[in-house]
Amino acid sequence: MKRLLVLQHIEIEGPGLFYQIAKERQMNIEIIRLDQGDNLPKTNEDDLILIMGGPMGIQDIGSKKYPWLKKERDFIKSELKKKTPIIGVCLGAQLLANAAGGDIEILKQGNPPKPLPEIGWSQIFFNQTNNDIKKFCKTPFHVLHWHGDKILLPGNAELIASSKRCKEQFFRIGERAYGLQFHIESIKEMTEKWIKEDKIFINRSLGKNGQAILREEEKKFGEKTVLKRRLLINELFNLLSKH
């Protein structure tokens, strides 16, 4: 695996820890800014595609606001057929699932259920039957969530991990594609930008003190989980380079 192709949708949602680890592994990194008019890449056998997050969603495919989104989804569909290694994060996971025949719906909570985004640090719990990620299956660990939709997985997806609020957190499609609804890539500077720029979305989930809550959670879990998150990213890279 020689090249990491990063499909990025907005400035503040970059590859973070993925970038750091790819550099350590001496991979060539190409960031494709679809929102700025970059063309989708021509892939080679040794490439790994990393699809990042963003505020747009599956429901925006075909819209004039994001004309590149359908092209990206169709590109992912073709790369799945070619068995190109893919990692999708948040929006990237939703696009990956949709390209394989899945969908999304609004994440809800309560009785009666009402829309409520999942934002902040909470645990994911691993499915004990999955063998590829068995090193991480023994205990749950905290990750950063930042989404208002949940994925409806296609029939060929294998569920790997869930949170208490959202079952479809981590999954595999085929042997060479993984989707993560959570943000394993987050670093302190990135998270602070999200907190500053996404106040309305944060308050919908956490109330008027949401930004303060998230800053406290970042202090508690951000640095503490870096080693575990780096290990998981490295494990994904290892798994996708084997086939």
What integer pLDDT is reported at residue 242 of this predicted model?
A: 72
- What are the sequence ranges of the domains in the chain? 3-242
Q: Write out pLDDT tens, residues 110-141.
A: 999 999 999 999 999 998 776 677 777 778 99
Amino acid identity at 23? K
What integer pLDDT is reported at residue 185 of this predicted model?
A: 98
What integer pLDDT is reported at residue 131 of this predicted model?
A: 66
User: Are 146 and 121 in contact, with CB atoms under 8 Å apart?
Assistant: no
| Residues with pLDDT less than 50, the chain | none
CATH class of this structure's domain 3-242: alpha beta
What integer pLDDT is reported at residue 62 of this predicted model?
A: 93
| Residue 188 backbone phi and psi in degrees, to 5 | -55, -45
